[in-house]
């Protein structure tokens, strides 16, 4: 669940905490209506401005006090469809309006059986080699296909064409680099 705690700034400046948690869905107008409700019920009486004082469920992405609600909705949408480590990594490299599109373009897969990035990428490379057939591959290579996959994995990591993102407990998310 993606949520923000929105507080009235005039109340905050007067030494009071007046606000509430708001769930971020796909409707910016509903969020703005809830913010308006907070400001209208302010004990301060003249509340016009708000700030985001806390947040949860944004996958490691830091939410600023003045973050645009529409941007939060786009981030939440990406987090609904992709692993948080992937969304966080891609968020750092693109405009938020392109976040879901870039995640779709760059996300390769998640692997949970590897203990190091080379093994995670090697597992992906081995699956790729076996899925796309081995026609024309010399028998010597076929006899050592796992070693070929490991070598290919090291090349993919070193060249930056695949970036393994560690997610903890032996889980890696693989994204396309360059």
CB 127 within 8 A of CB 111: no
What was the pLDDT predicted at 39? 96
- Using a pLDDT cut of 70, give the percent of the chain over it: 100
Q: What is the mean pLDDT of residues 31-53?
A: 94
Angle at 16 between CA 13 and CA 19, to 5 degrees: 100
68-115 pLDDT tens trace: 999 999 999 999 999 999 999 999 999 999 999 999 999 999 988 777
Q: How much is the pTM?
A: 0.85
Distance, in Å, from the CA atom of 44 to the CA atom of 10, rounded to the nearest integer, reads 7
DSSP state of 97: G
DSSP state of 55: E
Which residues have CB under 8 Å from 174's CB, separation 6+? 107, 108, 109, 110, 111, 120, 121, 124, 162, 163, 164, 165
What was the pLDDT predicted at 81? 95
What was the pLDDT predicted at 163? 94
Q: Quick one: pLDDT band at residue 146, thresholds 50, 70, 90?
A: confident
């Amino acid at each position: 669940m993606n949520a923000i705690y929105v507080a009235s700034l005039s109340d905050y400046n007067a030494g009071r905490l007046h606000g509430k948690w708001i769930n971020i869905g796909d409707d910016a107008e509903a969020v703005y209506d809830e913010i308006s409700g907070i400001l209208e019920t302010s004990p301060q009486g003249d509340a016009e401005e708000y700030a985001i004082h806390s947040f949860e469920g944004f996958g490691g992405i830091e939410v600023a006090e003045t973050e645009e609600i529409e941007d939060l909705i786009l981030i939440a949408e990406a987090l609904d469809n992709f692993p948080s480590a992937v969304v966080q990594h891609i968020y750092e490299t693109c405009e938020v309006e392109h976040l879901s599109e870039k995640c779709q373009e760059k996300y390769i897969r998640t692997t949970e059986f590897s203990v190091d990035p080379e093994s995670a990428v090697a597992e992906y490379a081995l699956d790729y080699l076996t899925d796309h057939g081995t026609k024309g591959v010399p028998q010597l290579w076929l006899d050592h296909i796992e070693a070929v996959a490991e070598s290919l994995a090291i090349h993919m990591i070193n060249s930056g064409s695949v970036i393994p993102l560690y997610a903890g407990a032996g889980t890696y998310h693989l994204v396309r680099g360059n």
